[in-house]
Amino acid sequence: MAKELTSRAENYSQWYNDLVIKADLAENSAVRGSMVIKPYGYAIWEKMQSALDQMFKDTGHENAYFPLFIPKSFFAKEAAHVEGFAKECAVVTHYRLKNDGKGGVMVDESAKLEEELIVRPTSETIIWDTYKKWIQSYRDLPLLINQWANVVRWEMRTRLFLRTAEFLWQEGHTAHATKDEAVKEAELILDLYAEFAEKWMGVPVLKGVKSPGERFAGAVETYCIEALMQDGKALQAGTSHFLGQNFAKAFDVKFVTKDNQQEYVWATSWGVSTRLVGALIMSHSDDNGLVLPPKLAPIQVVIVPIYKKPEQLDEITLEVDKIVKDLKSRGISVKFDNRDTHKPGFKFAEWELKGVPVRLAIGPRDLENGTVEVARRDTLEKETLAIQDIAHKIENLLENIQNNIYQKALSFRDDNTFTVDSWDEFKDRIEKGGFVWAHWDGTPETEEKIKDETKATIRLIPIDGKLKEGKCIYTEKPSQQRVVFAKAY
């Protein structure tokens, strides 16, 4: 079963598509560019949501819900914003269908909207129109709001999880009395995203800011986290934007300061999406299937009975029931795969494909010896352990796997991170993949030329403050610090 996957070496892109389909994560729908997220894929997203939601709440954010539709005129209010999103908008123009007289239905032209509605590609405009009503005084600030929602961007080339016309995400929208506070909020969220990526997803990320050309449409500064996939391409895993007063000005949102002055409100917005599921898959999985970090695995432990006669299954079940109970009391999710329709080998391959972190196998000989076979998905290693205290051992093993997955991804990134100082070396490295630290003269023209010639983009400009001067790899003009280049998803 697992063998049907294309290998990564053979065709990484095909391997990814195969895996998403065969592991029952998602599939394409009848609607161009929109996916169906299947239960197993959705369960991973739910675990991500739950962890992120708690992090947002722990830092004082509240959830709310704003309309799916945005009046067209709102869109035009922030010039850069509309420029960035107008070309990929789904537009609602009518509100009724009627019989077409041929057994089908057609749009009822008499039900045309006076003003068209845009299906939200992101919600800054409708939210800042609302904030105008909510914010009068400094006492109303800060406003720390998040929403879990679907959004639509009419992408031309789509890929399951990574780029879809409709996707699920969270979008935070905060309002502040000072610039400093808003910048701190954008940075706080960046740190929180990085922590989530590393501690939960087991994906190491670089933090930095985008070059002006890669900024969010309407932002003053876009902070981002970037991860490196196994094929050496970068993937933007989350962004947090300092919006300055751009949206406050566009929607005329002012507040009265403590000194009784009228001032425009400062803003941030930030989001991560179902794209993270794609990043998770691409970071850890192998030619046998998914490798899921225990903290996000829908099923953490699977138990497969090995038996020939029904009486043997009964005896095994008695022992398994005890293990299941003990695991559950520790908050560990476990599935006893006692299907009699499939053989153990089939089950092993299936759960490997689905990335369950730990597999236990128990047969009659194990019962005699008081043992159980424990297989870990990340390394594919097996060992036979005494069944006594097994739940406790598995609890430790899951932690160990979580750490190992992260360390493995970190080593991979380290091995694929390069510092280059010449244009030839740069072209060569970029072609082979990985993060390439190089000097850039800071101009959009050079950024564009490098992109045209190599397909590499500036993934981020570091913000750790450690400046070190050098010469641009392309123009040899002076540069203040190295930036990170890569080809990207």
| Binding footprint of its own copies on the chain (CB under 8 A) | 27, 29-31, 34-39, 42-43, 45-46, 62-76, 82, 86-99, 103-107, 116-119, 126, 129-130, 133, 139, 145, 149-150, 152, 154, 166, 168, 341
Nearer to its own copies, 72 or 295 (CB): 72
87: Cβ contacts below 8 Å, ≥ 6 apart: 154
Pairing mode, strands 97-99 and 143-152: unpaired
The two structure tokens encoding residue 92: 């609602």
The two structure tokens encoding residue 280: 């998770």
Q: How far is the CB of 345 from its own copies (least distance, A)?
A: 19
Q: How far is the CB of 387 from its own copies (least distance, A)?
A: 29
Nearer to its own copies, 87 or 322 (CB): 87
Nearer to its own copies, 149 or 203 (CB): 149
- Helices 275-284 + 39-58 axis angle, to 10: 110
Nearer to its own copies, 315 or 337 (CB): 337
- Given CA atoms 118, 124, 129, 133 in this order, what sign does their dihedral have? positive
Nearer to its own copies, 152 or 235 (CB): 152
Q: How far is the CB of 64 from its own copies (least distance, A)?
A: 5
Distance CA 23, CA 282 (A): 13
Nearer to its own copies, 38 or 471 (CB): 38
Cα-Cα-Cα-Cα dihedral of 155, 48, 38, 62, to 10°?
-70
Nearer to its own copies, 114 or 368 (CB): 114
Q: How far is the CB of 409 from its own copies (least distance, A)?
A: 27
74: Cβ contacts below 8 Å, ≥ 6 apart: 125, 126, 129
Q: How far is the CB of 252 from its own copies (least distance, A)?
A: 14
5 close to 352: Cβ distance less than 8 angstroms: no
Would you tell me how many other CB atoms lie within 10 Å of the CB of residue 69? Answer: 14
Q: How far is the CB of 69 from its own copies (least distance, A)?
A: 5
Pairing mode, strands 435-439 and 457-462: unpaired
462 close to 224: Cβ distance less than 8 angstroms: no
Per the listing, tokens 């420029």 go with 83
Q: How far is the CB of 116 from its own copies (least distance, A)?
A: 6
